[in-house]
Amino acid sequence: MPKIQTPLNGLTVSSDETLIWGVRTYVMGIINLTPDSFSGDGLDKDVSAAVDKALRFQEEGADILDIGAESTRPGHEQVSVDQELSRLIPALEAVSKRVKIPISVDTYKAEVARQAVDAGAVIINDIWGLKSEPEIAHVAADTGAGIILMHNQLGTKYKNLLPNVVASLKDSVDIAFNAGVSPENIIIDPGIGFGKTPEQNLQVLKQLEKLKPIGYPILTGTSRKSTLGLLLGLPPDQRLEGTAATVSLSIAGGADIVRVHDVKEMVRVCLVTDAVVRGWRPKGWTTS
């Protein structure tokens, strides 16, 4: 399994932009084109609302947009390829024409991923880490798209939680590499909130640094998750502070990208955390 050799390697997302790992944290704004999002922000087929949200996120400092058209909340109902495409493609095409930042498509279906890349997506975010439809790896290889490989499983039983997650992610990386995906295009995600109990989610976040030896940039998605709801006793739209805490902890644990619903606030959290963890400083910074 190939590894990124230096934290300054990056993912090329356009002819003039590369996401450089290790310098600062990138913020990925979530756009849900679903009627049943767990967080209550689903836009269904409202293309105009999707464009407005994308433009707002860009203005607020998002580095990437993640657009999905099938809910992945616990107990969700799967939708057909045609249903997913009918929600996704009109909005994706409209958004890609209006924003300057890269777009990721949140799907585990190869045909959806292929059409999404044709419509303007440059990253594929697969919640099954290529283990539902391995053909997605070939879509990424053929198109040069980035690929986010998330850990997921049916059930929550583990022999040893973190080593099992790491081993599974390594398997996903191998699938990608064997299909011809460039190592620089691979990102890993421990799958907080997927195939894990609330206690296991907290353990993964606490031990996030154990993913770093795999050798690829790390994405975390803790925003408004149910574990925060259990800790705070609050509904999804009132979990901002809890999300902020987990975003900061994710960065301290080695995350390079954070996937969030509340872009403006989490950009600020990232800037302050990066100042401590990565040594980032704003332009014009002075100690005098």
Q: Residue 41 is part of a domain; what is its CATH number?
A: 3.20.20.20
List the domain range (segments joined by +) for residue 250.
Answer: 10-277
Residue 88 lies in a domain: yes
In whole angstroms, what is the distance from residue 86 CA to residue 68 CA? Answer: 12
Residue 284: inside a domain: no
Within-domain flag for 282 = no
pLDDT above 80 for 247: yes
Per the structure, the count of domains in the chain is 1
Is residue 283 in some structural domain? no
The answer to whether position 145 is within a domain reads: yes
Whether residue 28 is predicted with pLDDT greater than 70 in this model: the reply is: yes
Q: Is residue 288 predicted with pLDDT exceeding 70?
A: no
For residue 76, the 8-state DSSP code is P
2 located within any domain: no
Residues with a catalytic annotation lie at 225, 259
Instruction: Give the residue-averaged pLDDT of 239-245.
Output: 98
Phi then psi for 75, rounded to 5 degrees? Answer: 80, 10
Is the model's pTM score more than 0.75?
yes
The reply to whether 4 falls in a domain is no
Q: Are 66 and 102 in contact, with CB atoms under 8 Å apart?
A: no
The pLDDT mean for the chain works out to 92
166-219 confidence digits (pLDDT tens) = 999 999 999 999 999 999 999 999 999 999 999 999 999 999 999 999 999 999
Q: What's the token pair of residue 23?
A: 């310098």
* 2 has a pLDDT exceeding 60: no
